[in-house]
A and B are shown apart, each in its own frame.
Chain A
Amino acid sequence: MSVEHPGADLDPHGDVTVDRVALADELAGGGASVAASADVAELALRIGDDALVLSQRLGDWITRAPELEEDVALGNIALDLLGHARSLLHYAGTIDGRSEDDLAYFRDEPDFRNAWLFEQPNGDFAHTIARQLFASTYLVELHRGLESSTDATIAAIAAKASKEVDYHRDHAIQWTLRLAGGTEESRRRMIRAVEQTWPYVGELFVDDELATRLADDGIAPLPSSLRPAFDDVIDAVFAEADLARPEGRLAFVVGGRGRSGGHTEHLGPLLAEMQVLARAHPGASW
């Protein structure tokens, strides 16, 4: 059997010599022999909630996107993110026995740890694309950093997610170029969307106590360390699209408090819609 994946001398179809200790529990539905530490569980909640909330937002576009192909694209991106959220929330729940569904459906607003960017409303299509551009550019850098995490489960989830968010970023960049270079109207809307979304970027790169401990332990990159690579990509895209960084506007938002459970008024309605069925019929399966 020919195997040609790079730099590996193992046969992916046979005797895989990877660390098997944590692997059984990586995916939703796995066993629970490996539990996350308190810090890792909190990290998994942060990035799991980012993915879950953004996935829910993107799902709203299905049947409403400007073209059929875009319904499919945004739906597929949402599905990838939901996959990341399932793996991460499942892992986060191993610390206290809560399931991924418990965490998704039976936590209230102050218990969610997502950054404000991810809960921002869809707005018009340009707003969604601006949010996707910033979110996926951040996620590419985050997951690349997490691939070398000293926590084997986090590293495995990130290695998988890394390749997927790379496609999401590509999609957002192509649309940014198209809208900014399209008609006068599409360009006007793209500029406005970038201006209104940009203030939520700052929160992604704030180092707090937990982030510092995680970095010291080699579990996650320090958020601020991801900023230069993020800026390089955004600058390159903005140069190509003839857009400018809207520095200085709405600077007060930079102190978003999502990581500690403080949220904008937009998260509540999103959760209400996402959770209503599970809460009305506890224990139901569908």
Chain B
Amino acid sequence: MPADAASRAAWDVAATVTDPEVPVLTIEDLGVLRSVAVDDDGAVHVELTPTYSGCPAMDAMRDDVLLALTHAGYDRVDVRMVLAPAWTTDWMSDAGRDKLRAYGIAPPSGSAPVRDAGPIRVRLAVKCPRCGSLNTRELARFGSTSCKALFECRDCLEPFDSFKVL
């Protein structure tokens, strides 16, 4: 969060924008909202970080941030994309993880360093967001979007998305 009150107020506006593909999450929950600063001339500078290089939702998020701030009365808004440091699911807030689970998407299991193993990997079990069972199976490594994999639960028999660790 920014240190000064003016920037914090602008942050609170930008933070209401949600991910168009996972609308239960705000860009703050995702860790996509990186910084908001209001300069001496009253212009707002926002920095967003893309989740995936080719994520088509990024343009929508950029436009939505612009709209949200413009509607709130800021007339000079500059939204920039920054790549470094690279986004990781470790930045997703605990509140965001809870919201994902409630929405039926398994949150990332474990943290990014866990992935740094050999070429043929043993995977952590993914818990079914509906019944909590660990008896689940991956159907496809790439789900409806780059950030998700498709699973099915062998106990409640429901298919579900799992947010991949990145």
Contacts and interface: CB of A to CB of B under 8 A. Distances in A.
B150 interface: yes
B91 A3 contact: yes
Contacts of B144: 72
Interface stretch (B17-25, B67-75, B98-106, B112-120): B112-120
B154 interface: no
Contacts of A233: 119
B8 to A, nearest CB: 10
Given A83-B52, A87-B83, A156-B83, A173 B113 contact: no
A274 interface: no
B6 to A, nearest CB: 14
Contact of B84 (A5, A155, A173, A177): A155
B112 A152 contact: no
A72 B34 contact: no
B81 A27 contact: yes
A138 B54 CA distance: 20
B35 A73 contact: no
B115 to A, nearest CB: 7
Given A72-B144, A240-B120, A160 B53 contact: yes
A169 interface: yes
A244 interface: no
A163 B116 CA distance: 10
B146 interface: yes
A129 B111 CA distance: 28
B64 interface: no
Contacts of B113: 6
Given A79-B54, A83-B53, A174 B84 contact: no
A16 B56 contact: no
Interface string A1-36: 111111010011111101110011011011000000
7 contacts: A1-B93, A26-B83, A72-B142, A73-B142, A86-B53, A159-B83, A236-B119
Interface of A: 1-6, 8, 11-16, 18-20, 23-24, 26-27, 29-30, 69-70, 72-73, 75-77, 79-84, 86-87, 152, 155-157, 159-164, 166-167, 169-171, 173-174, 177, 233, 236-237, 240
- 6 closest residue pairs by CB, A with B: A83-B53, A83-B54, A69-B140, A156-B84, A73-B142, A79-B54
